[in-house]
């Protein structure tokens, strides 16, 4: 079940040892060895970057919501303000009395610290993503664990896996080692599509960044389009988060969390030797 190649190498060595010496007593495996054999589901890097992502993502979500309250109207194109037609309006009170919301009261203004924290968390997320991204390519983690296996590149494979979810079948052996097809697809979408788009639409709202790269805003249809897309993307990420945590709860919150915290699979196979054969 090892995710990291180091572990599989060690494992092969052990196997060879067992084979070349038939008298090697299998039961003499020490505690440390057992824990190494049932070994790593998530590498240390994935675990650390995952939890850093969670912290910064939650901070971004909360402060993002806080910032939206100051102007809960959305537009398409380059410009938009209370004198222009909105694309849509959120049915919530605003933290500015200049925005017509239909509510007789104004929420407290929390934009100052929200903006400071939003950008600081964005930095944490970007650095985390850089480390995760570079390590994922170099170590082969993306290739091995996130890109679906070649034979799974069919709709059929998706239907098969969805059907198994619907029948509430337990994960099969291969899923002890790595993610299943649907997990891979969800993670790839989040890591390589949603987060990059989130960063792009965010930067497209920076008046200084767009002075250097005007296309960042222009390609999206303008500053207000970027803001609207940024808003929708945060909903998609929130949707992912809800499904993600639900699936983890359904598949055994304790063992999945233990694996994502300690790295080791919660439930070791009865006989580690057999598992590999």
Partner 1 sequence: MNPISRRKLITMGLAATAGASGLIEANRLARRYGLVPPDSGGFFGPGETLTYACQRLLTARTPAREFPRSMISKNPFANEVAPPKEEFKRLQAGGFRDWRLVVDGTVARPTSFSLADLKSLPIHSQITEVACEEGWSYIAEWIGTPLSGVLRETGVLPQSRYIVYYSIEKGLWESIDMADAMHPYTLLTMGMNDGDLPVPFGGPLRLRVPRQLGYKSLKYVTRITATDDIKKFGKGLGSVDPEYGYAWYAGI
Spatial separation of the C-alpha atoms in residues 66 and 196, rounded to whole Å: 22
Distance from C-alpha of 35 to C-alpha of 7, rounded to nearest angstrom: 11
Indicate which of partner 1, ligand HEM, none lies near residue 229 (CB less than 5 to 8 Å, by partner kind): none
* Under rule CB under 8 A, residue 51 binds partner 1: no
H/E segment holding residue 154: none
CA distance 207 to 196: 19
Contact segment (CB under 8 A) with partner 1 among 2-10, 109-117, 138-146, 153-161 equals 109-117
Pick between residue 82 and residue 245 the one whose CB is nearest to ligand HEM.
245
Nearest to 50 by CA among 248, 197, 182: 248
Quick check: 47 binds partner 1 (CB under 8 A)? no
Of 16-24, 63-71, 131-139, 150-158, which part binds partner 1 (CB under 8 A)? 63-71
Question: Closest separation between CB of residue 17 and partner 1, Å?
Answer: 21
* Residue 144's binding partner out of partner 1, ligand HEM, none, with CB under 5 to 8 Å set by partner kind: none
Taking CB under 8 A as the rule, does residue 217 contact partner 1?
yes
Per CB under 8 A, the list member of 169, 214, 249, 257 interacting with partner 1 is: 214
Q: Does 208 bind partner 1 (CB under 8 A)?
A: yes
Note whether 129 and 195 are within 8 A (CB). yes
The C-alpha atoms of residue 81 and residue 107 are separated, in whole angstroms, by 19
| Sign of the CA dihedral running 24, 26, 29, 33 | positive
181's CB contacts (< 8 A; 6+ apart) are: 148, 152, 157, 158, 161
Q: Cβ distance 171 to 154 under 8 Å?
A: no
Q: Which residues bind ligand HEM (CB under 6 A)?
A: 41, 46, 50, 53-54, 57, 145, 179, 183, 187, 190-191, 237, 240-241, 244-245, 248, 256-257, 259-260
Q: How far is the CB of 199 from ligand HEM (least distance, A)?
A: 13
* Contact range with partner 1 by CB under 8 A, out of 39-47, 70-78, 189-197, 252-260: 70-78
* Binding status of residue 100 toward partner 1 by CB under 8 A: no
DSSP 28: G
């Amino acid at each position: 079940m090892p995710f990291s190649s180091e572990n599989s190498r060690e494992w092969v060595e052990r196997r060879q040892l067992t084979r070349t010496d038939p008298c090697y007593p299998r039961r003499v495996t020490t505690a440390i060895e057992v824990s190494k054999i049932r070994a790593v589901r998530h590498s240390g890097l994935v675990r650390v970057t995952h939890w850093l992502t969670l912290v910064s993502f939650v901070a971004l979500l909360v402060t993002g919501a806080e910032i939206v309250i100051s102007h809960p109207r959305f537009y398409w194109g380059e410009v938009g303000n209370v004198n222009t037609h909105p694309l849509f309006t959120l049915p919530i009170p605003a933290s500015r009395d200049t925005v017509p919301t239909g509510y007789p009261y104004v929420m407290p203004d929390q934009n100052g610290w929200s903006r400071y924290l939003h950008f600081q968390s964005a930095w944490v997320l970007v650095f985390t993503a850089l480390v995760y991204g570079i390590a994922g390519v170099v170590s082969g983690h993306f290739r091995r664990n996130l890109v679906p296996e070649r034979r799974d590149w069919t709709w059929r494979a998706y239907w098969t896996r969805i059907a198994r979810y619907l029948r509430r079948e337990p994960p099969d052996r291969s899923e002890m080692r790595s993610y299943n097809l649907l997990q891979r697809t969800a993670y790839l979408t989040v890591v390589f599509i949603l987060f990059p788009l989130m960063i792009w639409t965010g930067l497209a709202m920076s008046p200084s960044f767009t002075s250097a790269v005007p296309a960042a805003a222009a390609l999206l249809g303008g500053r207000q389009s970027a803001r609207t897309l940024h808003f929708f993307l945060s909903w998609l990420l929130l949707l992912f988060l809800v499904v993600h945590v639900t699936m983890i709860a359904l598949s055994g919150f304790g063992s999945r969390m233990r694996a994502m915290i300690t790295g080791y699979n919660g439930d070791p196979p009865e006989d580690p030797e057999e598992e590999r054969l």
